[in-house]
Amino acid sequence: MKIAHRFPLYALALLLALLPLAALAQASATVPKAGVDYVLIENGKPFAPLDGKIEVVEVFSYTCGHCAQFQPMLDAWKARQRDDVRVTYLPLATGPGDHLSRAFFALQDTGELDRGHAATFRAIHERGALSRRPEAAELAAFYTGLGLDGTALQRAMAEESVTTRMAAAYRHALNQGVEGTPTVIVNGRYRVTARTHEDRLRIADALIARLRTQRR
């Protein structure tokens, strides 16, 4: 004789009662918390006018090993974003003699940032093809080896406009309370605090979702 196994009614009732609590717990886990997942920046301002966008700024340094690890993850995350998100890379420029930060802005000015940004990280941290404090000529030779116009890049690095933008980038990082790299800042208002790179992107996603909701 085949015995039917029936789910006890009291167990079914208990399960149904717990389902909303589980859903609530899952939802609350994705809600970013001030003082835990981010710091609310007093009088914080975006780096550039928002123009209807949600701004995500990464303050980085080419000599930072954690930034080198984070860079491909951030690039992949950036590629998944909708059109209303603007991701901005911002070097933590330490002064006029910071040639790596100069190189970043020169790559930007010449339209070669996509080709040179990740390659600069790899050259320093994986291949040892660049020193951590390279001179302009060393950087020009390196970029020439990538098939870029190293002479044009070296010229661009020397422009006064680059010095001005480096100073602006440093002031922004200082005003936003940046204490290290990499640091992610959303809309100039939220400085993400995270223990892992994955958490950094998860929190950024949650803050973006919050800002989209606030727009409605």
Contact predicate 94/107, CB 8 Å: no
184 class by beta-carbon count within 10 Å (0-12 exposed, 13-18 middle, 19+ buried): buried
Strands 85-91 and 54-60: parallel
Q: Per-residue confidence at 9, pLDDT binned at 50, 70, 90?
A: low
pLDDT, one tens digit per residue, over 27-60 is 444 789 999 999 999 999 999 999 999 999 999 9
Exposure pattern of 20-51 as b/e (b: 16+ CB <10 Å)? Answer: eeeeeeeeeeeebeeeebbbebeebebbeeee
Strands 38-40 and 85-91: unpaired
Q: What's the CA gap between 165 and 172, in Å, rounded?
A: 10
Q: Is 162 left (phi over 0), alpha (psi -120 to 50) or beta?
A: alpha
Alpha helices for the chain (secondary structure H): 9-30, 65-79, 99-109, 113-122, 136-145, 150-157, 160-175, 197-215
pLDDT at 185 > cutoff 50: yes
Q: Which residue has the tokens 């000529």?
A: 137
pLDDT at 22 > cutoff 70: no
What is the pTM (predicted TM-score) of this model?
A: 0.85
Provide mean pLDDT across the span 156-166: 97
pLDDT for the residue 30:
75
pLDDT at 2 > cutoff 60: no
Least confident of 24-38, 78-92, 147-161: 24-38
Provide mean pLDDT across the span 179-187: 97
- Residues whose CB falls within 8 Å of the CB of residue 41, separated by 6 or more in sequence, listed in order: 176, 177, 185, 188, 189, 190, 191
Q: Among residues of the chain, what percentage have pLDDT more than 90? A: 84
What SS3 class is residue 212? Answer: helix
DSSP lists the bridge partners of residue 88 as 57
pLDDT at 3 > cutoff 80: no
Average pLDDT of the residues of the chain? 90
First to last CA, the chain: 62
Q: Which residue has the tokens 């949650």?
A: 206
Provide mean pLDDT across the span 124-145: 97
